[in-house]
Every structure is written in structure tokens, then in C-alpha cells.
Amino acid sequence: MFDKFGFWYYNNSMEIIKNYKLDECIKIFENNHKSFVFDKSSITDPIYTKYVCVENGEPIGYAVVYPHNDFIAREQFACNYASEPDSIYIWHIVVHSAHCGKGVGKFINDAILADYKGRPIYCAIDKNNLPSLHLHQKQGFAIVAEFTQMFHGNMTTFAILRHA
């Protein structure tokens, strides 16, 4: 990112702390879910692991990880894709709008990819959500299925992406 003098520098002050300050993650959800992310309750549900990106002690973005393979049924997706038994699923990822475009999303996903190395990692993305599609494709996720269904009142086309 750029400092106040306009010089580019690498921000190495970010860290990932799991399940940290979830009340602040809820505020990030409210700030920037952009009608692409709906399941606020997943942030405080202990079945999900929260990867929280922290800078100077404060959350600036997070991802909710569902570490099981039955995500398609759990999301009630109209898709019969069969994921591997050891696969996991990024339920959602949100970065605070003040911190978007600075590598925070990539930093969070890198931590998930490292932790679950060797296991297939999935996510599902609204095909209109180009920032999220670009983020995941740039990190090696590839589309393995597409389907269209009603989702929170809108006919939505989803892509399921897999990172192996």
C-alpha cells in the first residue's frame, strides 16, 4: 500500500487470528456484505472457523470456513456436484470497505490455503461478483460447476470453484 508520502510499501503488520473479536466481524459484514453475503449468523456459530485479519489489534476482514464437505446440501444449492469427503468450504469472506484492494482478501485466503493444504477447498460465488471471482481465480481456484436458482429473492447464477 502507499504511505502518506506516496511511497509503496509492503504491509507486514497484518496477522490472522482465528475466531477473534467476532462482534467486530459482524460490523465488517454490515459494512460490506454488498448483498452477496447473507449468513451473518455464521460469524458466531462455533461450527465455522473464522479467519480474522487483524491490523493494529483490530479486525479489517474475515472469512468463515466450514470444514466439512456437505456444504451444497447445507447451503440448499440446486446443484448435484459431489465434493470429495475431505473437502472444506469457504462459506464467505468480507473485507471492510476502507481496506479493500490492499491485499487483505488474498492474505486471508492464503492462510486458509496453507492450513488446509492437501485438501480440496471450495467456494460458491455469484457470477455477478467480479471482485470475488477475480480474487479466487487469481489464487488458483477454478470453476467446476454452475447453476441458477432463487436465492434471497433473486434469481442468481452461482459458480462453484475448487482449489486443489
Question: What are the cell numbers at 151?
Answer: 436465492
DSSP element (H, E) containing 55: strand 49-55
Would you say 85 or 159 has its CB closer to ligand COA?
A: 159
Of residues 56 and 118, the one with the C-beta less far from ligand COA: 56
Residue the block writes with cell 467486530: 24
- Rule CB under 6 A: choose which of 21, 40, 68, 106 binds ligand COA: 106
Residue list 2-41, contact with ligand COA (CB under 6 A): 32-34, 36-37
**Ramachandran category for residue 102: left, alpha or beta (phi over 0 → left; psi -120 to 50 → alpha):** alpha
Instruction: Assess 78 for contact with ligand COA (CB under 6 A).
Output: no
| Contact assessment for residue 39 and residue 7, using Cβ atoms and an 8 Å cutoff | no
Q: How far apart are CA 71 and CA 123, in angstroms?
A: 9
What is the separation of C-alpha 8 from the centre of its chain, rounded to a whole number of angstroms? 26
List the x/- string, 48-77, binding to ligand COA by CB under 6 A: ------------------------------
Q: Which three cell numbers stand for residue 16?
A: 490472522
Q: How far is the CB of 143 from ligand COA (least distance, A)?
A: 13
Minimal distance, residue 53 CB to ligand COA, in Å: 9
Q: How many CB atoms lie within 10 A of CB 112?
A: 21
Specify the residue, 20 or 91, whose C-beta has the smaller distance to ligand COA: 91
Under the rule (CB under 6 A), what is the footprint of ligand COA?
Answer: 32-34, 36-37, 92-95, 100-106, 125, 129-132, 134-135, 138
